[in-house]
Each structure stands twice: as structure tokens, then as C-alpha cells.
């Protein structure tokens, strides 16, 4: 059963940290601030689904997922993106202590946060299903309807010439087919991952067909 009080305290801490971030509140980063908060909520909801179906602690999973990207409150230096999971764990640990969680639970939550970027932490831990699920939930959120729109917009798809659009779609499909069998920490995460990737593949296959139909008239078999 979810501990609503602990989750609400975590939400307040996350929002407060982002609201007090000099980096996120500059004019050029306000959109990223909104996105990062929305992403954190989506990851938390995915994490909850995994935890509920796998018998993991649901409250702790939601907390871990809400805090997994809290280091975006800071300016990333050299290798900042690669290090942001480890830095997020460092920021989260004192807050988790204030919540009154047991030390072993804090360690597992922080380990899951630390390894969610590149599977590495700066302290000892065990790659438990719980710890792996933080990164799994983050990865699963990277492949859904919202992210299709975001990525196509970011990459300027509509401004591309048609041949470049075709190449873009082919490369996306090649990558998607490579990673669809990527291992996850739980059966639930694997099912969610394959479902999301299958949807992505169908989308880009249909997009590719539309691009081909935009280049020339395709005679039917009875022509």
C-alpha cells in the first residue's frame, strides 16, 4: 500500500529543488524544467506499475523514480550527463534520511538512482530487481507517444528534404530493432519495453510507407 505522506513529501522536495535551481529557472531552461518534472512523474507511474506487478515496495519505487533526475537542478559540467545518476543519488540521500527510511532501503534506492544512466555507481550495491527497475522505468518512458512528438520536433523532421526523411526513418527503425530485445530487470518491465518498442516500430514503418508514397505514384498489382 502506498504511503501517501512520504510520496507527497518527495513531490514537494522535488518541486522545491527545481524551483530553487538557478540553472533551471533561466529563460532558456524553463521548458526543460517543465519537461524534467513531467518526465519524473511519468517514470514514477511506470515504476509503480512494475513494483505492483512484481511485488516490490511501491512507495519506495515511486520515491526513487521521482528523484532519479533531481541532479538536473545543477549545471552539467564535463561528463555531466553520464554522471547525473550518481549525482542524483548524492542529492537524494540526505533527503531520504530525513524521511526516516532504513539505511538499507536508502542504499538500494540510491543505488538504483545511481546506476540508471550507465549501470555504474560510486558506491557498493547489488543489482536487485528493485534497483534495476528505476532505470527500466526511465528507459520505458523514452519510447511512448509523447517522445515521438518530442524527438521528431527536436530533430527538425518536418524541415527535412524527403530523401533525408527516408534515411532518418530507416536509421530509427534499424536502432529500434536492435534494442527491442534489450534485457530488463523484471518480466513486467520486459513486457512494457517490448510493447512500447513494437508500437514505435509500427509507427516508423507506417511513416516510412507514407514517405515512399510521397515521392512517386505507386502502380497497383493490377495496373
Q: Please give the share of the chain, as a percent, with pLDDT higher than 90.
A: 90
1-10 residue pLDDT tens: 899 999 999 9
Q: What is the pLDDT of residues 188-197, one digit of tens each?
A: 999 999 999 9
Confidence of residue 222 (pLDDT cuts 50, 70, 90): low
Which pTM does this prediction carry?
0.92
125 φ, ψ to 5°?
-165, 175
Within 55-157, residue ranges assigned H as helices are: 58-67, 80-99, 103-114, 129-141, 145-154
Asked whether residue 36 carries a pLDDT value surpassing 70, the answer given is: yes
Mean pLDDT to the nearest integer, 86-106: 98
Cβ-contact 200, 150 below 8 angstroms: no
Residues 6+ apart with CB under 8 A from 44: 61, 62, 65, 66, 137
Question: Which letter, b or e, does each residue of 74-89 get, where b requires 16 or more Cβ atoms within 10 Å of its Cβ?
Answer: beeeeeeeebbbbbbb
Q: Is the pLDDT of residue 13 over 60?
A: yes
Q: Which SS3 state, helix, strand or coil, does residue 37 take?
A: helix
Alpha-carbon distances of 181 from 28, 43, 174, 198, rounded to whole Å: 37, 20, 13, 11
Taking the C-alpha atoms of residue 197 and residue 69, their distance in angstroms, rounded to an integer, is 23
Hey, what's the cell of 89? 543519488
Q: How far lies 197's CA from each of 132, 173, 185, 192, in Å?
A: 19, 10, 17, 9
Task: Tell me which residue of 142, 152, 144, 155 sits closest to 199, measured CA to CA.
Answer: 144
13 sits in which H/E element: helix 4-19
pLDDT computed for residue 220 by the predictor? 64
Amino acid at each position: 500500500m502506498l504511503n501517501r505522506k512520504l510520496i507527497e513529501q518527495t513531490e514537494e522536495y522535488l518541486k522545491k529543488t527545481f524551483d530553487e535551481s538557478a540553472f533551471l529557472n533561466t529563460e532558456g531552461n524553463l521548458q526543460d524544467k517543465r519537461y524534467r518534472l513531467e518526465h519524473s512523474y511519468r517514470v514514477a507511474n511506470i515504476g509503480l506499475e512494475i513494483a505492483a506487478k512484481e511485488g516490490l515496495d511501491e512507495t519506495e519505487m515511486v520515491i526513487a523514480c521521482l528523484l532519479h533526475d533531481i541532479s538536473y537542478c545543477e549545471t552539467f559540467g564535463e561528463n555531466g550527463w553520464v554522471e547525473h545518476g550518481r549525482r542524483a543519488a548524492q542529492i537524494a540521500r540526505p533527503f531520504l534520511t530525513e524521511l526516516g527510511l532504513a539505511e538499507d532501503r536508502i542504499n538500494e534506492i540510491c543505488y538504483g538512482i545511481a546506476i540508471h544512466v550507465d549501470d555504474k555507481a560510486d558506491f557498493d550495491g547489488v543489482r536487485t530487481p528493485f534497483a534495476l527497475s528505476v532505470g527500466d522505468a526511465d528507459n520505458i518512458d523514452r519510447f511512448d507517444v509523447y517522445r515521438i512528438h518530442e524527438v521528431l520536433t527536436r530533430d527538425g523532421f518536418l524541415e527535412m528534404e524527403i530523401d533525408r526523411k527516408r534515411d532518418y526513418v530507416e536509421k530509427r527503425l534499424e536502432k529500434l530493432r536492435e534494442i527491442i530485445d534489450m534485457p530488463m530487470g523484471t518480466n513486467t518491465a520486459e513486457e512494457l519495453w517490448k510493447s512500447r518498442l513494437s508500437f514505435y516500430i509500427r509507427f516508423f514503418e507506417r511513416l516510412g510507407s507514407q514517405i515512399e508514397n510521397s515521392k512517386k505514384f505507386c502502380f497497383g498489382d493490377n495496373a
